[in-house]
A = this chain, B = another copy of it.
Amino acid sequence: MIRKTAGGPPAAARRTPPSIRDVAAAAGVSYQTVSRVLNGSPSVRADTRTAVLAAIEEMGFRPNRSARALGLGRARAVTVVTADTMLYGYASTLQGIEEAARAAGFAVGVRVIESDSADDVRQAADYVADPSAGAVVVIAFDPAGAKVLAALDDDVPAVAAIEASGRRDTGRVVICLDERVAAAQATEHLLALGHRTVHHVAIPSEDGGSGRQAGWRDALERAGAPVPAVVPAGWDMAAAYAAGRRLAADPLVTAVLCGNDDLALGVRRALYEQGRDVPGEVSVVGFDDIPGSAYWTPALTTVRMDFAGLGRACFEAAVAQLAGDAQPEVSLIAPCLVVRESTAPPRTEP
């Protein structure tokens, strides 16, 4: 490592960045006073404070994050635990967390969960047990995230972002987007258009019962419509495409609710290849409102979700937990259906 050079070259540039003690010496106070200024302690006289601040400014001093974390016991940081970083919902949530963290002067780390195997789950949980991880937000939209949440050591300050409320109690703070009512809304839109029922191509869900899928089922049951078998498609567009081909072959299918916009794309492509017009013959609705969906042909009817808001709320909650404060009120923008071109009344029977 770099050590302070005692004699060094004559006009050598400083090697080691200034420490709190260097600043103290320059300002003519003790290191503790500098520390107090850094932490905004009220018991520092105004002129002392300005002197210290001037020294800090002049020397270009910046507190060492590792040292601070070591002394404090936990870092002023947030680390996001997630099974994926590219999928729109995950990436947007991460973005929301990052923005809020940066605004608050927190460092941000990312730890992805390789799989939901016991080993990978444990490794992720161990990772965030380290104090340098700071506060933790686990994105628990899927089984891997949910397992990590359960495996977390009790004393790591963590909150979870989940898909829908009503999940079994975990003893942890959770913040959710209400996808269930949103999915119901989308399904009702299709029903109101005159469709007999709505098929569902699903993403993997944490428990298969409380999120998008549940909302779809709710709406169908409330309307007394038949509830077709769910078509699972993973996160994979290819799987959605395959599912779409099967659906396309069935003349009774006139409306499809997809677990997310990517799946909707796969389904729509399959429909296209089979010559089934969207929305003329079958209506398709997605979920998430990814940026491109408004530009598709036809533009996709979908449900807009406030993932970024979810991320920000999670950050606030995680920090509150880190500080031992009461949980802040959360106010998220409710999901909303945005109707575009991919839905229409079913073709009237000839």
Contacts and interface: CB of A to CB of B under 8 A. Distances in A.
B108 A107 contact: no
Given A109-B109, A265-B296, A95 B102 contact: no
Q: Could you say which of A65, A109, A112, A266 has the most chain B C-beta atoms within 10 Å of its C-beta? A: A65
A64 interface: yes
A286 to B, nearest CB: 12
Interface stretch (A85-93, A144-152, A226-234): A85-93
**A contact patch SS:** helix
A241 B299 CA distance: 13
Interface string A1-14: 11000000000000
A175 B55 CA distance: 39
B70 A98 contact: no
A85 B99 CA distance: 11
A70 B72 contact: no
A67 interface: yes
Interface in A95-154: 95, 98-99, 102, 107-112, 114, 126-127, 129-132
A217 interface: no
A130 B64 contact: yes
Contacts of A69: 66, 132
A62 interface: yes
Contact of A112 (B2, B17, B98, B114): B98
A1 B73 contact: yes
A2 B73 contact: yes
B98 A85 contact: yes
A237 interface: yes
A94 to B, nearest CB: 7
A292 interface: yes
A262 to B, nearest CB: 6
A247 B237 CA distance: 31
Given A2-B73, A98-B85, A131 B269 contact: no
6 contacts: A1-B74, A2-B73, A66-B66, A237-B292, A241-B295, A265-B292
